[in-house]
Structure 1
């Protein structure tokens, strides 16, 4: 007997510019794939579901194909189980100290393990720093420039040879809590 696991799908670059993805439609598409207990969290592309399928590559391919068919553009999807996200949050090097007023703590979720780079790595401008990794997740401290964070995801993708999307650390904590609610 197989037990359904809670999965968390992090969708990249939705509801920015012309890349509109209504959460109700997203839930319909995922439910139509036979995924169970489909829910979403905020409109930035976070979905939770249960599935007995434990092959993340197969699930990602299925989801990405269905999303492109439904919305008309590619939506890169990074998948974690609730257990994986819990372990990544526990491994985060941010400690209990909140970020300074000019910084943000972030988790960049990669599509594969992040290996082959000596850490920490800091951008030439000093606007972000990869403090460490855990599996496929990079822990990043952002510095605000002109009041805004700079997105290091494209650099992370190139550095590690993966697709990636990020969420602030505090948002990641809230995503896990929401995913585990019944």
Structure 2
């Protein structure tokens, strides 16, 4: 059983980092998190995955503080989805793509959500083009099959939620999520 007084290790999944001309080095990103007083700050690959420890009890306030600091420093909003190591372990252990074959023409994506999907969104759900399919969701994540078209993954997996979704999401391939978790667990 985890010590309730011990600092929490968070994985910060950042949206809009190193895409669309919004470039930031991981060294700079780690420095920005350290400036917030967060400890043991590390990162994994260039797509905005940061791990850190903190004893701050209010995740929503911490998220707002991170987002505000990143926007002030970088000049653009960076929606941030915070998850604990345990939450990501549980997500992966749930085997959200069970029974869905991974083929050379598909990718399995986890979309970390800032808000749950609308309650009236029926799943599974495909985009009109059939290039994205939301197969299931939890309050904090949606699981999307992305089809490869002309050698590239179809558009933004969040597009499969429709216009009624007002939150933010950031996608990671399932195999990358496994690697991110393993990196976060290293001491």
TM range (shorter): over 0.9
For residue 39 of structure 1, the aligned residue among 28, 42, 45 is 42
CA contact (8 A) 1:109 1:166 kept: yes
Q: Which residue of 2 aligns with 1:139?
A: 143
For residue 123 of structure 2, the aligned residue among 111, 119, 124 is 119
The range that moved more, 158-167 or 20-29, is 158-167
Structure 1 portions without partners, runs of 5+: none
Separation (CA, whole Å) in 1 of partners of 2:186 and 2:99:
24
CA displacement 1:73-129 (0-9 Å, x = unmatched): 111111111111111112232238761010000000100223412210011111111
Structure 2 portions without partners, runs of 5+: none
In structure 1, the residue corresponding to 2:163 is in which secondary structure? helix
- How far is 1:158 from its partner? 3.3
CA contact (8 A) 1:92 1:139 kept: no
Residue 181 in structure 1 maps to residue 183 in structure 2: no
Aligned residues: 182
Q: Which residue of 1 aligns with 2:167?
A: 162
- How far is 1:162 from its partner? 1.4
- How far is 1:156 from its partner? 2.7
- How far is 1:149 from its partner? 1.3
In structure 2, the residue corresponding to 1:172 is in which secondary structure? helix
CA contact (8 A) 2:123 2:134 kept: yes
Normalised by the length of structure 1, the TM-score is 0.93
Separation (CA, whole Å) in 2 of partners of 1:126 and 1:21:
33
- How far is 1:157 from its partner? 6.8
